[in-house]
Structure 1
Amino acid sequence: MLRHWRAYLVLLCLIPLDTLAQVRTPLVIEAALDRQVIAPLLDAFERARPDIALEYHDRSTLEVDRRARNVRPAPDVVISSAMPWQLARVNEGLAQPLDSDEARDWPAWAKWRNEVFGFTFEPIVMAYRLDLSRRMMPPATHADLNALLTSKLDILRGKVTTYSPSRSGVGYTLFQQDARYSPRFWDLVAAMGAAEVSLEATTQAMLDGLTSGKYWVGYNLLGSYAMRWAQTHPELIVQVPQDYALVMMRMAFVHRDAPHPAAAKTFVSFLLGVEGQRILAGRTPLFSVLPEVIGPYTAQRLRDQVGERLYPIPIDASLLAFVDPLRRAAFMARWNREISILDPQEATAQRPSKAIPR
């Protein structure tokens, strides 16, 4: 047997490296997820499956969605934080079902028809500079922020930031959820407008502004990015709201026209498996979903901290209403009226449109 293995190794050494590379199965992933954040999981997958050549593209939600719909050959796996648009694509038949033990055992509240899966559990947070805490009591709840913007308007004018709902699919979804859970949401929008809030397209843009001192307080940031950023920027404090905290899930599906479906299904199953979830819980701030996984970033640990006031955005048919052009136009009209600040790119959002924001 040893002689056979030696002969095999000798033959293997004689094969050109480019020929060996061709033996590996390609896997193309289009994702709206910072590669630096998910790198520990990608590295672990590549170690576990050296026969798969992983090609990961980190893009905006707009570009990920466009490529999923229009680019051929299609990507193998599609990952995005724009939950309504992910579900809409799956509902249009753009995904294929995943029949694996991991998919079958995945919590029913975090999947749709075994075709798309929410594999992270990311809280939506506020963030503020220490400068703010030296001058006033920092906000711990949505009501606190509203009161702060009203009572300290002269100090906070021009120093507040949040998402632009016209340029961010995630931001638009979060504001829709805020309106659902908070009867004072529109009061908060008006208060942000009075404070001349700056509207950004990404959490990273908000974090950059907070770090530079341009902003003192940010509202509705993705907790995964904010927590990771704060680890190396001690001037920033991340606050999970104590009255209620929204939770966003990154959603992944295997494309219906995936050129390499077996590799794609292997990867998504890895995301949902105990090993993949353990990496999310221990080495990333993306927060794992599986209840049996232990680590600093788990859904259960977040529930223990926030309790019943934790509101995950559900993966169900209600998400589809968010992509309805008429509903979007009505929401944006109210938003612009209450905030009294018109982002130049938001003007088009007041008209019914099928365009998908970032």
Structure 2
Amino acid sequence: MRRRNLISLALASALSGMSSRGFAQAWASLAIMGTETPEIMAGLVGALGQEAELAGLAVDYRQARPAQIISRLSAQAEAEALPHLVLLPTPDLAVQVANEGYTLPQVPPGGLEAPHWRNEVFAVAHDAAVFVTHSGQIPAEEAPRSRTELARMLERNRLRFQGRMGLVNIGIDNVAYGYAAQDSLRSALFWRISGAFGMAQARIFDTPEELLAALSRGIIDFGYNVPLSVARRAAAEHTEIGIIIPQDYVLALPLTALVPVHAGLPRGLVPSELTGLLFSTPAQQALGAMGLTPIGARSGIENLQTIELGPELLVFLDPLKRSRFLDTWFQQVVQN
């Protein structure tokens, strides 16, 4: 039975060039699309495969960038070309898609206890923003435990940390932008810290994985607002990477799930209950194994501030607001 239901993991390197045959050929499959690599998603896909197997389905997972996913959903492609279930790492994009009418309302088995918006966008797990350090360069007793301590450390040790601090490019990485936008709303220190990073000539990386790779090699000593899930995976391979949970507050972005309104129907599954698959015990355990905090689970993190789903998230997606925010950020952190 298992051999007949082996999970198909396919990497979509460029959705724009992919023909609609990709999902049409997997019509008897539960088609899932997300931003993580197939390797990272293997555990969750396997857990969902247990549910899909009962309906005689395999699971077809495809990776794509957030912009590619949004483009495909908003283009109202043919049903065969759309996934049945979408996972987005930031709630603002998911709310935007739902707000524009491209999602199907859901009624998960057991009711609507999970955080959701309009029964269309569901939070299935959370990912916290943390500090990361190179333990050989910043001893534990010197590492900042709050944003106030971070600002002071940078301002008092400018020469020591020149070129040794790391940030993820918020103009490229959606999760980094989400953290930065929410950080700016919660802390009067946000722009002070941004300026301090600029004075330290912080290095800017396209992804948190690139930042953590540089940290593990000793190229930088510190990273700010790195997703805990990514930091945990890197720390498991590189013992020199230290993870610091900020004591003042910890931002947590929800991993969101939605169902495209025009997607085809996976055989044997109820379309209005598809997101419910992600709340099964095996699926929630798999999300935890990915380094995320499953819904309803105790994170053990004090002062955790989880970003709530709602239309207010659309503010920072407004083109003018986004442009001004990015311009100010780059002016602060890129100082020649």
Range class of TM-score, shorter chain = 0.7 to 0.9
Indicate conservation of the 8 Å contact 2:34/2:88, yes or no. yes
* Partner in structure 2 of residue 49 of structure 1: 52
- Whole-Å Cα distance in 1 between the matches of residues 101 and 27 of structure 2? 29
Distance 1:132 1:23, change over 3 A: closer
Aligned partners of 2:234 and 2:293: how far apart in 1? 15
1:272 aligned residue: 279
Q: Does the alignment pair 1:206 with 2:200?
A: no
SS of residue matched to 2:293: coil
TM-score, normalised relative to structure 1:
0.79
Q: Structure 1 pair 265/201, CA: closer, same or farther in 2 (3 Å)? A: farther
Between structures 1 and 2, the one with greater helix share: 1
Paired position in structure 1 for 2:325: 331
Moved more, 260-269 or 185-194: 260-269
Does the 8 Å contact 1:77/1:255 carry over to 2? yes
| Amino acid corresponding to residue 308 of structure 2 in structure 1 | P
- Match runs of 1:24-173 below 5 Å: 25-50=28-53, 51-70=56-75, 71-72=77-78, 73-102=81-110, 104-107=111-114, 110-134=115-139, 137-173=142-178
Q: 1:133 aligns to what SS in structure 2?
A: coil
Judge conservation of contact 2:106–2:274 (CA < 8 Å) in 1: no
Q: CA deviation at 1:106?
A: 2.5
> In the alignment, does 2:304 pair up with 1:310?
yes
Instruction: Give 5+ residue unaligned stretches, structure 2.
Output: 1-24
* Cα-to-partner distance string for 1:99-153 (whole Å, 9 max, x where unaligned): 2324x2333xx21111111101211111111122249701211112211211222
- Aligned mates of 1:233, 1:267 — CA distance in 2: 37
CA distance in 2, matches of 1:28, 1:264: 12
Q: CA deviation digits over 1:184-222, x for unaligned, max 9?
A: 111000000111112222211111111122121111111
Structure 1 residues 267 and 98, CA gap change in structure 2 (3 angstroms): closer
Deviation at 1:319, TM superposition (A): 0.4
Q: Which runs of 5+ in 1 are unaligned?
A: 1-21, 291-297, 343-358
1:235 alignment partner, one of 237, 240, 244:
240
The ranges of structure 1 where at least 4 consecutive aligned residues each deviate by more than 4 angstroms after the TM superposition are: 263-267
Is the 1:160–1:218 Cα contact (8 Å) retained in structure 2? yes
Which residue type is aligned with residue 276 of structure 2?
S
Match of 1:287 among 293, 307, 314: 293
Distance 1:248 1:144 in 2: 23
